Amino acid sequence: MDIELMMRVWPFFLKAAWVTIQLSVLTTILGLICGASGAAARLSRLGWLRFLGAAYVSLFRGTPALIQLFILYFGGPQIGIQLDAFEAGVIGLGLNIGAYMTETIRGAIVAIDKGQREAARTLGLSHFQAFRKVTLPQALRLMIRPLGVNINALIKGTALVAAISVIELTYTAQRYIGSTYKPFEMFFLAGVLYMIIIYGTGRGIAWLDRKVRIV
């Protein structure tokens, strides 16, 4: 293993890792927005909204994320959507993970015992008040861990945007392999950095989960 080479390229990898982190954070935010909206749609009283939510989920879970990114980035301009690689990466991955988060969030909400809603409604709370005060606070606690799983997958999924030339970790590794012919060292570095990011995120999720846990 060429340690000296690794030390030399390290700063560039750190920079690339920062791009991966930015991608991950923005994708998580977009994913949560899509997931919350998707879950709301899937649990709606309105049939057409439920259909829309279900269609969104099966579309984005039923096709490879790579194809979704390619359609958005390469196919987009054909239908008038001009995005740079980073934007296409965030939007593509965000919509994709949002479909998974839709199911996570919906699952947490329906997992709350219906007796909870009934008790709230019996006291005279409206449908919305019962949701806000009783169902949601419990569901939020329930969804932290599984959302953490989604976020873990999403961070690793950001490697896909190398294929549309976003200069993040995986792309950077590939680029340095081109000039150094040392794939082991370059992918090893990238792997280590991914692991650090994922480990840190995992600890954060675990902390949050402990913090809000009901006695």
Partner 1 sequence: MTEQRHFVDIRHAQKSYGSLEVLKDISLTVERGQIVAIIGPSGSGKSTLLRAINDLDPLTGGEVWLDGVQVNKSLPHRQYEKHINAMRQQIGMVFQHFNLFPHLTVRQNVTMAPRLLKGISEKEADQLAEEQLAHVGMLERIDYFPSQLSGGQKQRVAIARALAMKPKLMLFDEATSALDPELVEEVNLVMKKLAEEHMTMIIVTHEMDFAASVCDRVLFMDGGVVVEEGPPGVVFRNPTQERTRNFLRKHLEGAK
Binding residues for partner 1, rule: CB under 8 A, are 113, 115-116, 118-127, 129, 133-134, 137-138, 141, 214-215
- Least separation in angstroms between CB 136 and partner 1: 10
Dihedral, 208, 99, 34, 126 alpha carbons, nearest 10:
-80
Instruction: For residue 39, give the nearest of 93, 112, 92 by alpha carbon.
Output: 112
The minimum distance between CB 126 and partner 1, in angstroms, equals 6
Task: Write down the residue that tokens 């390229």 correspond to.
Answer: 9
Q: Give me the DSSP letters along 39-57.
A: HHHHT-SSHHHHHHHHHHH
201 with 151: CB under 8 angstroms?
Answer: yes
- Least Cβ distance, residue 123 to partner 1 (angstroms): 4
CA distance 26 to 95: 11
Output 33 or 111, the one with its CB closest to partner 1: 111
State whether the Cα torsion 30-31-34-40 is positive or negative.
negative
The residue among 25 and 125 lying less far from partner 1, judged by its C-beta, is 125
Q: Match 């030390």 to its residue by tokens.
A: 7
CB of 108 to partner 1, least distance (A): 13
Minimum CB distance to partner 1 smaller for 50 or for 175: 50
Distance CA 42, CA 108 (A): 13
Q: Which is nearer to partner 1, 93 or 130 (CB)?
A: 130
Q: Which is nearer to partner 1, 2 or 118 (CB)?
A: 118
Q: How far apart are CB 49 and partner 1 at their closest, in Å?
A: 16
Instruction: Find the shortest distance in angstroms from Cβ 43 to partner 1.
Output: 17
Q: Which is nearer to partner 1, 82 or 114 (CB)?
A: 114
Whether the Cβ atoms of residue 104 and residue 37 lie closer than 8 Å to each other:
no
